[in-house]
Amino acid sequence: MNNNTYTVGSMFAGIGGICLGFKQAGFEIVWANEKDAAACRTYRHNFGDKYLLEANIKKVNKQTIPVFDILTAGFPCQPFSVAGPHKGFEDARGNLFFQIIEVAKIAQPKIIFLENVANLIDHDNGKTFITIFNALSELDYVLRYQNLPSNEYGNSPQTRNRTYVVAFKDELLGTKFKYPEPIELTTGIFDIIDRHTKQKEIYYYNEEDPFYDYMVSKVKRADSIYRVHDSGIRLAKNQTCPTLTASMGTRDNRVPIIIDDFGYRKLTVRECLDFQGFPKDYSFPIGTTIQQAYAQIGNSVCVPVIRRIAEQIRNVLEDNNDLQ
């Protein structure tokens, strides 16, 4: 591999999951933007304070944004999620996609990388994705897109399926780019979950909890994880962890449940980070509440999937340089 430096600017950076995946693939992060103060504290705690801009992107002077090779954006997914009200671009958060277009017009990145829910492609009978496709095509980008479940492409035993879009200014790069191939899932849920070590009491349910009796009636197996949804408690499929969502931080009973040697409990914050593929040295700053940590993790990405896509992007960039 060549030692060329390729730079990345990241919108809606959150706690840096996408930045981390690209960094692991050898890219240099030169600019990132996030408006949530708690997420920014976590980002700085792990990446430093060199290039993060804490601000509402709508209020940022786009002319001040530096030049970079790749623009990444995990733009807000709730407007397009099957778990939400499906408002799409009618939701103010959905309209944030057009901020990506505004930045792209000025920064003119070679590549744009987008991440969103799997439902993005089919939302509103495909009209939402057509809007995204057309907006990027009008800027002369060639799009490649695919849904990649984490348990098939990231060796993460989590049923997190997401749409990934890679848009290229250079049509030749776009035709050469290939998404990573599926890989064998060798990591099991109990490679991440420790059932035999007592966790902090805050993670355990007790008989005083309002839904304790209902939970006990549903959670029977100690060899599995249970997902909590509006429709009730369900056994997660195929010995995997259900998709971790931001609602874990806003609704206390939305964190997946297990039985360990000491009782019924939620997945810990560390376990959730591990299911998302964050490295062991990634942590939250002092003062982060458990609700903030859960929400930030649920809003983030499966890092190994991002890294594998970023490696494929780097490969086509390197191949292109070899031909020049």
Lookup: tokens for 178? 């290939």
pLDDT (tens digit, 9 = 90+) per residue, 119-176?
Answer: 888 888 888 899 999 999 999 999 999 999 999 999 999 999 999 999 999 999 999 9
What Cα–Cα distance (Å) separates residue 22 from each residue in 9, 62, 319? 10, 23, 18
Q: Does the structure show a pLDDT above 80 at 63?
A: yes
Active site residue 272: no
Which SS3 state, helix, strand or coil, does residue 319 take? helix
CA distance 129 to 298: 23
* The predicted structure's pLDDT at residue 322: 58
pLDDT (tens digit, 9 = 90+) per residue, 249-263?
Answer: 887 678 999 999 999
Ordered domains of the chain (ranges, CATH)? 7-185+299-323 (3.40.50.150), 189-288 (no CATH)
Q: Which is the catalytic residue, given 77, 241, 272, 302?
A: 77
- Whether 255 contacts 294, CB under 8 Å: yes
pLDDT (tens digit, 9 = 90+) per residue, 46-61?
Answer: 999 999 999 999 999 9
Q: Does the structure show a pLDDT above 70 at 85?
A: no
CA distance 224 to 105: 48
Nearest by Cα to 192 from 154, 247, 248: 154
* The predicted structure's pLDDT at residue 323: 52
Q: Does the structure show a pLDDT above 50 at 25?
A: yes
* The predicted structure's pLDDT at residue 4: 86
Task: Identify the residue with better confidence: 32 or 211.
Answer: 32
Q: Does the structure show a pLDDT above 70 at 83?
A: no
CA distance 298 to 247: 7
pLDDT (tens digit, 9 = 90+) per residue, 268-307?
Answer: 999 999 999 999 999 999 999 999 999 999 999 999 999 9
What Cα–Cα distance (Å) separates residue 40 from each residue in 51, 107, 125, 266, 282? 11, 23, 35, 25, 14
Q: Does the structure show a pLDDT above 60 at 192?
A: yes
Beta-ladder partners of 145: 165
